[in-house]
């Protein structure tokens, strides 16, 4: 009886533990989903990607649900649009959703905007590295729409 109880408690403890983050490159791709290569089940849990040049440097942190990016992410990719910036945002079922912020390598905010269904949608702002506003614009379904102001 004691052994059965201890075994059940151990299973509960293991089931409640946070999953260990997986390297995206160690998962398999099946269409738009990342799957566990051993079970072929869609991966669920935290994941990361390391730099091609330095395997000790994480360039992306993300969560997956049903094999798709879902939840908050942090992108440290040096080859990003602004070169060397850092970006935070959110995915929902593999699509960019909600607010996003981008930063210069110095950590200063370089821009912010919003996404809907993986497309830019809503107000967007860019900043100079000294923190002053550089431009304001508005997007609808990924297209520039409305006033565009440059300062």
Tell me the pLDDT tens digit for each residue of 91-146.
Answer: 999 999 999 999 988 889 999 999 999 999 999 999 999 999 999 999 999 999 98
Is 114 inside any structural domain?
yes
When divided into structural domains, the chain yields a total of 1
Is 63 inside any structural domain?
no
Q: How confident is the model at residue 9, as a pLDDT?
A: 46
Q: How confident is the model at residue 5, as a pLDDT?
A: 45
Is the confidence at residue 24, as pLDDT, over 60? yes
Q: How confident is the model at residue 146, as a pLDDT?
A: 87
Q: Look up the pTM and report it.
A: 0.78
Q: How confident is the model at residue 83, as a pLDDT?
A: 47
Is 33 inside any structural domain?
no
Is the confidence at residue 28, as pLDDT, over 80? yes
β-strands 119-120, 122-127: how paired? unpaired
Confirm if 47 and 63 have CB atoms less than 8 A apart.
Answer: yes
For the chain, the distance separating the N- and C-terminal CA atoms, rounded to the nearest angstrom, is 74
Is 94 inside any structural domain?
yes
Give the sign of the dihedral formed by CA 36, CA 37, CA 39, CA 42.
Answer: positive
- For 27, 130, 150, the CA distances from 96, given in Å and listed in that order, are 21, 28, 26
Domain with 118 in it: 70-151
* Average of per-residue pLDDT across 30-51: 95
The residue count of the chain comes to 151
Is 11 inside any structural domain?
no
Q: Decide which of 40 and 80 is more confident.
A: 40
Is 12 inside any structural domain?
no
Is the confidence at residue 73, as pLDDT, over 90? yes
Is 119 inside any structural domain?
yes
Per DSSP, 84 falls in state: S
Is 103 inside any structural domain?
yes
Residues 6+ apart with CB under 8 A from 17: none
Q: Decide which of 13 and 134 is more confident.
A: 134
């Amino acid at each position: 009886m004691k052994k059965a109880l201890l075994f059940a408690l151990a299973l509960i403890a293991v089931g409640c533990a946070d999953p260990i983050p997986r390297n995206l490159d160690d998962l398999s791709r099946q269409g738009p989903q990342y799957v566990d290569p051993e079970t072929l089940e869609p991966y669920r849990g935290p994941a990361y990607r390391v730099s091609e040049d330095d395997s000790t440097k994480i360039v992306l942190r993300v969560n997956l649900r049903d094999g798709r990016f879902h939840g908050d992410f942090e992108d440290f990719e040096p080859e990003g649009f602004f070169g060397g910036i850092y970006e935070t945002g959110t995915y929902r079922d593999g699509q960019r959703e909600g607010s996003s912020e981008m930063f210069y390598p110095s950590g200063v905010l370089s821009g912010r905007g919003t996404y809907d269904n993986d497309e830019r949608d809503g107000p967007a702002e860019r900043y100079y590295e000294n923190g002053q506003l550089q431009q304001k614009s508005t997007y609808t379904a990924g297209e520039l729409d409305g006033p565009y102001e440059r300062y």
